[in-house]
Amino acid sequence: MKAVQTSLLTLALAAALPAAAQVPDVTKLYQVTTDGSTTKLAAGEKGKLVLSIKLDKSAHLSEEAPLKIALTGTNGAVPEKAALKYADQVSKKPEGEQYVNPVVFEVPFTVALPEGEKPSRPGEKAPPISATVDAKMTFFVCIAELCSRQQKQVSLPVQACRGSAASC
């Protein structure tokens, strides 16, 4: 009896392996970009981080599974929000479409001058502040066969001028 159970289990696994091998690599069905983000600004001015998840036509972002985006900054960069969820997207579903594509998030940020430093005066050349706005993303990309949890980290390099943005 034990030999029959083992044989049946082996047959079941052998049948499942080819099916699993045919499931597409979900990581190739989307791209995260920061196109349209502010990369140069004056210290203290507001910039904008744009996160866009562009999906292949065969994929969509799950609206039910948790989507989390944790935002941080380095070297004086401060995002206006520390976290985003699916409802924070600014993209709209095209008419006649079942899903939003691309899914876009926009978050204002500022880059502060280092403590105690004063803005440069007109004509004065001071090196820009190099900062980043970072996003740690967790979301689910779905295709007909499955939904797959994805994690992505994105850093937007920003130059903040100590005077006006034109002084960089």
- What are the tens digits of pLDDT across the range 22-39? 667 899 999 999 999 999
pLDDT score, position 94: 80
For position 119, what pLDDT does the model report? 62
Q: Which residues contact 10 (CB under 8 A, 6 or more apart)?
A: none
pLDDT (average), residues 58-73: 95
85 domain-assigned? yes
Give the other-Cβ count within 10 Å of 133's Cβ.
28
Domain-located, residue 61: yes
17 within domain boundaries: no
In the numeric block, the tokens 């900054």 are attached to 73
Domain count, the chain: 1
Kind of pairing, strands 147-161 and 40-42? parallel
CA distance linking residue 43 with residue 45, whole number of Å: 6
Mean pLDDT is lowest, of 2-6, 92-96, 100-104, 123-127, for 2-6
- pLDDT tens-place string over residues 136-153: 999 999 998 899 999 999
Residue 31 within any structural domain of the chain: yes
Q: How far, in whole angstroms, is CA 106 from its chain's centroid?
A: 11
Work out the pLDDT band at 7, boundaries 50, 70, 90.
very low
Number of H helices, E strands in the chain: 1, 10
The residue with greater pLDDT, 134 or 11, is 134
What are 49's two structure tokens? 């981080």
DSSP line for 70-129: EEEEETTEEES-SEE-GGG----PPTT-SS-SSEEEEEEEEEPPPTTPPPPPTT---PPE
What pLDDT is recorded for position 120? 59
Q: Is residue 140 part of a domain?
A: yes
* Pairwise pLDDT comparison (63 vs 5), residue with the higher score: 63
168 vs 1: which has the higher pLDDT: 168
Say if 162 falls within a structural domain.
yes
For residue 22 the two structure tokens come to: 């045919």
Instruction: Examine residue 18 and state whether it is found in any structural domain, yes or no.
Output: no
Nearest by Cα to 157 from 75, 44, 69, 53: 75
| Model confidence, pTM | 0.79
Q: Residue 131 is part of which domain span?
A: 25-167
User: Which CATH number covers residue 71?
Assistant: 2.60.40.10
